[in-house]
Amino acid sequence: MHVRRLTGGLAAVCVVSLSLMGGQAVAGPLDEADTPLAARVLTYDAGGSAEFRSAVDRGAAIWNESVDAVELRPAGAGQRANIRVLADNGWPRALPTTLGNGTVYIGRQAVDQGYDTIRISAHELGHILGLPDRKPGPCSSLMSGSSAGTACTNPYPDTAEKAEVEGNFGGALVGRAPAAGAELIVD
């Protein structure tokens, strides 16, 4: 064991010494860690979102304006979407399957009570992007959801929420399963 360490150390010293004496340095290939990562593209199908289609598209656009690591795009014809968005008569909710995948329900119950449709859409998409509810919370926190009240129409994530999504999609965590107990998020 000690001989291996000594031999390895001696080899490293020799390599460094030779490279310093070898003349002009030449740039090597870029390390993948030094290359900026492209945004992870997630597609969504809002075909079942009925009267909330424009609110869903706006909620996706807000996330696209707010973060760099992920981009939400409408699914093309015949393309299987990462996210399905449906309208129903219940309360809004998200059913994430893995990070960036799942189903969002834009529930008419909250809309009938006066909650903003764009805020609902952005909030529920936030769950698919890995964010939990943060209740109670102020209107400035998108993930405070319904606890901010019906007067709150802020559809934008705050700085901490943006940073969390950037971290979620920054690399190795993509495709991970949601945290235990996070399978159904009802707001």
pLDDT tens for the chain, 187 residues long, are 444 444 444 444 444 443 434 444 444 444 445 445 578 999 999 999 999 999 999 999 999 999 999 999 999 999 999 999 999 999 999 999 999 999 999 999 999 999 999 999 999 999 999 999 999 999 999 999 999 999 999 999 999 999 999 999 985 444 444 444 444 455 6
pLDDT for 10-63, tens place per residue?
444 444 443 434 444 444 444 445 445 578 999 999 999 999 999 999 999 999
Tokens matching residue 172? 């190795």
In the prediction, which pLDDT does 136 show? 95
3-class state of residue 139 by DSSP: coil
Per-residue burial over 142-153, b if 16 or more Cβ lie within 10 Å, else e, is: bbbbbbbeeebe
Give yes or no: 124 in active site: yes
Catalytic hit among 124, 161, 166, 183: 124
Q: Work out whether the CA dihedral 114, 60, 57, 84 comes out positive or negative.
A: negative
